[in-house]
């Protein structure tokens, strides 16, 4: 990048699990090394638990703490903010919905040049477009995983949403070629059970 290129303000909003936050933090550091300003958005407790950054990142990487509003039906916990649940669970949907208002306010007040979002925040483009802010999706998953899981419900009506563990033990209907890629039943049952119990970090 040329020295006289415009330096950008880029907002970064990973999902709340550390398996997502750490890759987003590494991406943020790479961008910051080019001299761009990064606003890394997450909850206060999550940000406080992130690895300490070298002092040279201080002018470029700003941590934005946005408390998640209280959501009914979520158990109180001492762990930093709750849980990473399957994106189709009702609890996760409530978490996503309650993130919208503080994110919209941040975008309106800070007017970043760009915002990078995670899979669970598929609603970011519709909000960012109101403020003429371009968006980009950064996936921590490889293409094969995205192809197998399919899109977030509501993004593509042509995709039939799978609702039972057994439906994940066969190749997806939208894959047009022959493949044996699928979960074993015991594997997908473990994922379903964890999501229902609210396991998986934070």
Tell me which residues are annotated as active site. 20, 118
Using CA atoms, how far apart are residues 104 and 71, in angstroms rounded to an integer? Answer: 18
Nearest-angstrom CA–CA distance, 106 and 159: 33
- Strand 9-13 and strand 135-137: the pairing is unpaired
Q: What is the dihedral of CA 76, 81, 85, 88, to 10 degrees?
A: 90
- Give CA–CA dist 194/39, Å, rounded: 32
Can you tell me the distance from the alpha carbon of 25 to that of 109, in angstroms, rounded to the nearest whole number?
Answer: 23
CB atoms within 10 A of CB 172: 17
- The dihedrals phi and psi of 90, each to the nearest 5 degrees, come to -65, -35
């Amino acid at each position: 990048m040329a020295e006289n290129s415009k330096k950008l303000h880029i907002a970064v909003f990973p999902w709340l699990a550390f398996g997502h936050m750490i890759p987003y933090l590494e991406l943020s550091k790479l961008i910051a090394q080019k001299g761009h300003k990064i606003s890394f958005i997450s909850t206060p407790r999550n940000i406080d638990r992130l690895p300490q950054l070298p002092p040279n990142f201080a002018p470029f990487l700003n941590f934005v703490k946005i408390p998640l509003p209280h959501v009914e039906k979520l158990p109180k916990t001492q762990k930093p903010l709750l849980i990473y649940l399957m994106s189709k669970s009702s609890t996760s949907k409530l978490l996503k919905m309650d993130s919208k208002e503080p994110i919209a306010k941040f975008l309106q007040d800070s007017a970043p040049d760009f915002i990078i979002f995670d899979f669970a925040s598929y609603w970011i483009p519709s909000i960012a477009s109101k403020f003429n802010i371009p968006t980009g999706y950064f996936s921590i998953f490889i293409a094969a995983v995205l192809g197998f899981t399919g899109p977030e419900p509501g993004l593509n009506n042509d995709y039939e949403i799978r609702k039972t563990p057994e439906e994940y033990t066969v190749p997806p209907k939208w894959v047009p070629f022959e493949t044996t890629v699928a979960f074993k039943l015991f594997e997908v049952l473990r994922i379903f059970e964890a999501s229902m119990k609210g396991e998986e970090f934070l």
